[in-house]
Amino acid sequence: MRDDVLSGGFADTPVEAARAFRAALEAMARPGSIHRVEGARAPAPVSEAAAVLLLTLCDRETPLYLAPGHDVAPVRDWVAFHIGAPLVGASEAMFALGGWQALAPLDAYRIGTPDYPDRAVTLIAELVNLAPEGARLSGPGIRETARLSLPEVAAFQRNHHLFPLGWDAFFTCGDRLAALPRTSVVEAG
């Protein structure tokens, strides 16, 4: 096993994981808000924010899907050492990591059941650009409207129509993250 696979975990796990969890919670509760996180480093092409999210949200009981591009040996080994999450196909995953294009087709993922709408996937989409501009968001947690540079609009509109089912998404770019839950209404900016 190569050495860089073994490094990159939290140095002070309880404190850093709590901070990261708070950031993830805030991002999901206030869709469109952008938060900075730090403290983790995973092999390329995983961004710092995505590595922090994986360390904070995933463990050996959360099946993880690595989309093409992220499904490379160093990343798989890093996940095995630091997280221990089982790597599965898209249809069984509770979390999915990849570029937005690589995560498609989106109807392969679990969207929950009417009895358990929480049994749905959370996508972690790596974006090239993350800024408070572009698509207009409204809904719970948003005062009037917010803007976020989403990679597309149609997929999020379709997902919103599935409510209370549907997936939720985190967006990461470098050390910044934002989130879009299934409750948000998305309109082209």
Partner 1 sequence: MSVTEIGTEARRGWMGLLARAPAARLAGVFDPLGATPGFEWLRTPETGGVMVRGRTGGTGAPFNMGEMTVTRCALRLETGEVGHAYVQGRDKAHAERAALVDALMQGPRAPELREAVLAPLAEAEAAARRGRAARAAATKVDFFTMVRGEG
Alpha-carbon dihedral 72, 51, 119, 14, rounded to 10 degrees: 140
Taking each helix axis from N to C end, the angle separating 73-82 and 48-57, rounded to the nearest 10 degrees, works out to 40
18 binds partner 1 (CB under 8 A): no
> Shortest CA distance to 42 belongs to which of 87, 14, 2, 93?
2
Interacting residues with partner 1 between 35 and 94 (CB under 8 A):
81-82
CB of 56 to partner 1, least distance (A): 15
Smaller CB separation from partner 1, 11 or 154? 11
Candidate ranges 9-17, 28-36, 103-111, 132-140; the one touching partner 1 (CB under 8 A): 9-17
In the chain, the amino acid numbered 66 is L
What is the radius of gyration, based on Cα positions, of the chain?
16
CB of 14 to partner 1, least distance (A): 10
CB of 163 to partner 1, least distance (A): 38
CB of 60 to partner 1, least distance (A): 11
In angstroms, the Cα distances linking 35 to 75, 76, 133, 169 are 24, 26, 15, 15
7 binds partner 1 (CB under 8 A): yes
Smaller CB separation from partner 1, 3 or 61? 3
Q: Print the binding letters for residues 133-172 with partner 1: x by CB under 8 A, - otherwise.
A: ----------------------------------------
Residue 111 pairs with which residues in a beta bridge?
A: 120
Strand order in the sheet with 35-36: 35-36, 176-180, 168-173, 122-126, 95-99, 64-66
113 binds partner 1 (CB under 8 A): no
Q: How many residues bind to partner 1 according to rule CB under 8 A? A: 9
Candidate ranges 4-12, 55-63, 141-149, 150-158; the one touching partner 1 (CB under 8 A): 4-12
Beta strands in the chain (DSSP E): 35-36, 64-66, 95-99, 122-126, 135-138, 146-148, 168-173, 176-180, 185-187
| Residues of the shown chain interacting with partner 1 in the complex, contacts defined by CB under 8 A | 3, 6-7, 9, 11-13, 81-82
